[in-house]
Amino acid sequence: MKEATSGYNAINGSGLSGSLPTRRLHMLENINTDSVVAGIDMGGTNVRIMIADLAGEVRAYVKVEADLLPKQRTDAAPLVEQMLEALAQAECRAEDVAFVAAGIAGFDDEADRAWAERLTAGFGLACPSRAVNDAVIAHRGALAGGSGILVASGTGSILLAHTERGQWLRNYDFGHYAASGARFLGYETVYDALAGRETPGDAALVRDMLRFFRASDLRELAESASRGFGLSRERRDRLFGLFAPVVTRHAEAGSPIAVRVCDEALRQIGVGSDLLAAFFGGPDIPVSQTGSVAGSAYMLGGLQDMICSQPGRRFRWTAPRLTPAAGAILIAYESLGLSYGDSMADALENSPHSRL
């Protein structure tokens, strides 16, 4: 599928020079029966590597928990080690990899290109590569390369649209941000409780909150909060992100604070979705999701009910078809000129690591 050029170069960037036909011809000349492609999903929580052959058979899948955001990484040794593990699992050599596509959290605009491409090269492969934002590979996987809107809410948050005309758009392009990332849910829930807005219906939530933050009561938690919890901003954000599953679980149980926080996040997602919808021509716009927050029971139900079912909206809920790592594999195939329509997605679906 041809991609229209947009201001969002983290979608269209490749790190390759020369015309597209010339590049593809050169790459195809080096392909043989042993060739494979690698897809990398480098989010804010985990790094996942998938290796597949050119028939769509997944040969390897390696997942390692991340202790740093991608932009903060300076040591490539752990990345090389993870890639070597994937190559050993796939029973192939580094020179068998014909292309690597990497989705990298934090690769948001052209200013991020240098470090994102340096990070992609840090996996130790000498083949051509393409670095994009991690929401792009999630979109490719969830909607199997088709048009639609992806709601990504996990460590961070973004709404990404690919229109029928091939145009890519983000809610960021409108200056809009849906504060639905994990840390935002954690912060707002704690702030509401510390501001005295809890009711008897929030008793279980407050109990689990105090247990999570190791405080004896809300006063002690407030004292800790007034000192920034004694953490750097990065560590504090990570801590509050880890609290998000507690929030979504209590929203499902009916805690007024948790429901209010999650519903506000859903409202903001709805605004972003409506902004993007104006650029679609069709009557039914596919909407899918990725990320730990968007995939939680309460938020998933809200996406289906509040976003897709409200009168006047023209969205059609679509369950995500493939994982982001499998979406990166699809991008690698496309970059080589090996797009076979749905057949490649069908083949990838045979692997449990490609299915959500």
DSSP string, 217-271: SHHHHHHHHHTGGGS-HHHHHHHHHHHHHHHHHHHHHT-HHHHHHHHHHHHHHHH
From edge to edge, which strands make up the β-sheet containing 285-290? 168-170, 157-162, 148-153, 285-290, 315-317
| Residue carrying the six token digits 């947009």 | 6
CB 102 within 8 A of CB 73: no
Q: Is the pLDDT of residue 2 over 80?
A: no
Give the pLDDT mean for 71-94. 94
The yes-or-no answer to whether 9-144+322-348 and 146-320 have a common fold is yes
Q: What is the mean pLDDT of residues 131-140?
A: 95
pLDDT in tens, 273-302: 999 999 999 788 999 999 999 999 999 999
Each domain of the chain, given as residue ranges in start order, spans: 9-144+322-348, 146-320
Distance between CA atoms of 206 and 219, rounded to whole angstroms? 12
Q: Specify the pLDDT at position 23.
A: 54
pLDDT tens digits for 8-32? 456 655 444 334 444 554 566 678 8
- pLDDT surpasses 50 at 169: yes
Pairing between β-strand 315-317 and β-strand 97-104 as defined by DSSP bridges? unpaired
Question: What's the pLDDT at 308?
Answer: 67
Q: Over 60: is that where the pLDDT of 1 sits?
A: no
Q: In this structure, which CATH number among 1.10.3720.10, 1.20.900.10, 3.30.1360.30, 3.30.420.40 belongs to the domain 9-144+322-348?
A: 3.30.420.40
pLDDT in tens, 244-282: 999 999 999 999 999 999 999 999 999 999 999 999 997
Q: Which pLDDT does position 28 carry in this prediction?
A: 62
CATH number 3.40.50.2300 given to 146-320? no
